[in-house]
Amino acid sequence: MLTVVPEENTPADGPAGSPSLIDEIVREGARRMLAAALEAEVDAYIAELADQRDARGRRLVVRNGHAQPRQVMTAAGAVEVTAPRVND
């Protein structure tokens, strides 16, 4: 049986100041959702401009690796996200 602990009685961190397992699971889920949303946005942008070519026939909008990871504050806490880069 699952016991629900009221929020005001729940410590911010678990034993010895480490985050609880559920907090880590939530942060990892948030990180994955943000990464998937960024990838989908880049995919849509590149697909929309796939017919744009330069004089030599090369695509003008292409992927260009990933940016440096950065911390993004979410309701689940700070999560590290690496956004895809686009060369346009």
Q: Residue 86's Cα: distance from chain center in Å?
A: 16
Residue 2's pLDDT is what?
46
C-alpha closest to that of 85 among 70, 63, 68: 63
Average pLDDT over residues 31-58: 94
Do the Cβ atoms of 83 and 72 come closer than 8 Å? no
**Residue 31: what pLDDT?**
93
For the residues 37-52, what does the mean pLDDT come to? Answer: 95
Q: Over 60: is that where the pLDDT of 3 sits?
A: no
Is pLDDT above 70 for 7? no
Report how far residue 65's alpha carbon sits from residue 84's, in angstroms, rounded to the nearest whole number.
Answer: 6
Q: Which pTM was predicted?
A: 0.70
pLDDT of residue 4 exceeding 50: no
pLDDT(14) > 60:
no
